[in-house]
């Protein structure tokens, strides 16, 4: 039989962390479990792996691209359109450093924005798991188990302080 997604709701972080640890002991892996909360919770507080994103790599790539664009503005443009002004250098360093810094930061900022936009899957057109109680401050733990093992998991999580453990399905928001 196919696996069913269950939702366990918790009032506080300690029972949720204990329940996640119990689910690990009972054989539920991290890829079959998801935690939702109305407030940001550090994954280490719940015994979960740190989520990795590509935003920092994109920001670094944007900063490097901005650095090279700033170099082009500082040294390429005067070579293309040389304007000699009596006694001044063709490549002035102090204003060039400002342009170099600003282009580096601008491109890093734009790449970071683009990275966050892409990593958040915005807009998302697939059905999502959402429970209104989570917005009210509760912590929801979604996990996938075989339907025939429901009672064993329900009893274990209720002992650890779950308010409810019930099957759930993804629905369009």
Mind listing the pLDDT tens digit of every residue in the chain (173 residues)? 568 888 889 988 889 989 999 998 988 888 888 888 888 888 888 878 888 889 999 999 999 999 999 999 999 988 888 888 888 888 888 989 999 999 999 999 999 999 998 888 777 777 666 677 888 888 888 898 888 888 888 888 888 888 888 888 765 55
* CA dist 111 → 40, 51, 104, 154, 168 (Å): 24, 20, 11, 45, 37
Report which DSSP code applies to 120.
T
Closest residue by Cα to residue 60 from 100, 102, 110, 98: 110
Q: What is the CATH number of domain 3-39+137-167?
A: 3.30.70.120
Residues of the chain with CATH 3.30.70.120: 3-39+137-167
Full-model pTM: 0.66
């Amino acid at each position: 039989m196919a696996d069913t997604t269950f939702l366990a709701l918790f009032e506080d972080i300690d029972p949720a962390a204990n329940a996640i640890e119990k689910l690990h002991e009972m054989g539920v892996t991290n890829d079959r479990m998801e935690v939702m909360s109305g407030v940001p919770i550090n994954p280490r507080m719940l015994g979960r792996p740190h989520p990795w994103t590509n935003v920092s790599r994109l920001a670094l790539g944007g900063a490097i691209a901005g650095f090279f664009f700033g170099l082009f503005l500082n040294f390429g443009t005067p070579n293309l359109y040389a304007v000699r002004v009596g006694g001044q250098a063709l490549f002035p360093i102090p204003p060039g450093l400002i342009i170099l810094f600003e282009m580096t930061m601008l491109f890093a900022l734009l790449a970071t924005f683009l990275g966050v936009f892409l990593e958040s899957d915005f807009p998302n057109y697939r059905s999502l798991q959402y429970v209104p109680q989570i917005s009210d401050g509760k912590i929801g733990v979604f996990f996938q188990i075989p339907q025939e093992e429901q009672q064993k998991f329900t009893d274990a999580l209720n002992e650890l302080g779950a308010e409810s453990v019930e099957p759930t399905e993804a629905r369009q928001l």
